[in-house]
Amino acid sequence: MLITLAPGVDPARVRHALVALGIWTRTLVAADGRARLLVEPHSAAVDAADVAALDGVESVAVEPSTHPRIDAQAACVDIAGVALGAGAPPVLLAGPCSVESEERMHRLAGRVAAAGGRFLRGGAYKPRTSPYSFQGHGEAALLWLRNAADAHGLRVVTEATAEHEAALVAAHADLVQIGSRNMHNYALLRAVGVTGKPALLKRGMAATIEEWLSAGEYLLVHGAKAVVFCERGLRGFDATTRNVLDVGAIALLAHVHRQPVVADPSHAAGRRDLILPLARAALAAGASGLIVETHDEPGCALSDGPQALPPAELAALLRTAELPRAVPAPEGANEHRARA
């Protein structure tokens, strides 16, 4: 946002009024002697009309958004009959990291449903760091996942890791997951978008929020029905926790950008003993759901055993939703974030 002052106005006086609104600026003085105030990125989101109404302000220029479709997306979206977002009860999406067998998926689906979960998760195609690690059971796993979910009244969320998988995954899933490693894979975003399915867009482990929102725009522009953002932790320097859950990003997406956002405390923590407290933090910050890994025999899990929550502890996650929730920003506040 660039604020142009009327001729002869003292920038210090206007800056003072702006600070009262939570807006911090840098003063630029043009050759004609006119002062312009450039809004700093750490400023609060405010209505451009409120700034324009300040005494001494001549005009306010807001840069066009690079993600207009995301900005226009409803704060609460419908995913196969489940409301996810502002005003809806928090949604639990749970299941193992990988779809390992038909029997295990049926067992775990029953536990997820009993815990109040609405979506069954599990990777049929796994984006593993090592090519020697388990890569997923592929198409067979999609069928096991779908059948187990249907048998227990659950929806399906599962990942497409490559363009050629998108149509098949979309045919079996209610919500197509884009993994953290693929958030910047624009060809994949396009391929998932054209399926028309809603997408769960995990944040890249080193992605800025603007990059994340723009990745969401790719999905919508190519036809995705909706985008649900998923904060799963950023890469940090300390391996004691696997990643760093960015609770500030959850608050920003939920309350300023008014987007449907869920948290993945499993990949953020990397260890089961921190999942419940991180889930609480995420919900308090404004997350509308939690995607959590669970396994009935974590010691035998084919991937991510240490972070698998025992199914008996799943129900406690939704009880965390009883925490008081933060007050959302006023309608439309995100329109004025063009300073970022």
Q: What are the residues binding ligand PEP (CB under 6 A)?
A: 97, 123, 127, 179-181, 202, 232, 264, 267
- Which entry of ligand PEP, Mn ion, none binds 232, CB below 5 to 8 A by partner kind? ligand PEP
With binding defined as CB under 5 A, does residue 268 bind Mn ion?
A: no
Comparison of 125 and 256: residue with beta carbon closer to ligand PEP: 125
Least distance from Mn ion to the Cβ atom of residue 303, Å? 6
The interface with Mn ion within residues 17-56 (CB under 5 A) comprises none
Check: CB of residue 160 under 8 Å from CB of residue 170: yes
Check: CB of residue 220 under 8 Å from CB of residue 71: no
Comparison of 67 and 267: residue with beta carbon closer to ligand PEP: 267
Comparison of 184 and 325: residue with beta carbon closer to ligand PEP: 184
- Which entry of Mn ion, ligand PEP, none binds 216, CB below 5 to 8 A by partner kind? none
Comparison of 215 and 268: residue with beta carbon closer to Mn ion: 268
Comparison of 11 and 117: residue with beta carbon closer to ligand PEP: 117
Q: CA 98: distance to chain centroid?
A: 21
Q: Closest Cα partner for 117 from 321, 309, 317?
A: 317
With binding defined as CB under 5 A, does residue 97 bind Mn ion?
A: yes
Residue recorded with tokens 């067979």: 140
- Which entry of ligand PEP, Mn ion, none binds 35, CB below 5 to 8 A by partner kind? none
Least distance from ligand PEP to the Cβ atom of residue 270, Å? 10
- Which entry of ligand PEP, Mn ion, none binds 265, CB below 5 to 8 A by partner kind? none
Comparison of 77 and 175: residue with beta carbon closer to Mn ion: 175
Least distance from ligand PEP to the Cβ atom of residue 180, Å? 4
- The residue number with the shortest CB distance to ligand PEP is 179
Least distance from ligand PEP to the Cβ atom of residue 330, Å? 32
Find the part of the chain contacting Mn ion (CB under 5 A) among 10-18, 97-105, 128-136, 220-228. Answer: 97-105
Q: What is the 3-state secondary structure (H, E, C) of the chain?
A: CEEEECCCCCHHHHHHHHHHCCCCEEEEECCCCCEEEEECCCCCCCCHHHHHCCCCEEEEECCCCCCHHHHHCCCEEEECCEEEECCCCCEEEEECCECCCHHHHHHHHHHHHHCCCCEEECECCCCCCCCCCCCCCCHHHHHHHHHHHHHCCCEEEEECCCHHHHHHHHHHCCEEEECHHHCCCHHHHHHHHHCCCCEEEECCCCCCHHHHHHHHHHHHHCCCCCEEEEECCECCCCCCCCCECCHHHHHHHHHHCCCCEEECHHHHHCCHHHHHHHHHHHHHHCCCEEEEEECCCHHHCCCCHHHCECHHHHHHHHHHHHCCCCCCCCCCHHHHCCCC
- Which entry of ligand PEP, Mn ion, none binds 258, CB below 5 to 8 A by partner kind? none
Comparison of 75 and 275: residue with beta carbon closer to ligand PEP: 275
- Which entry of Mn ion, ligand PEP, none binds 190, CB below 5 to 8 A by partner kind? none
With binding defined as CB under 5 A, does residue 304 bind Mn ion?
A: yes
* Interface positions with Mn ion (CB under 5 A): 97, 304
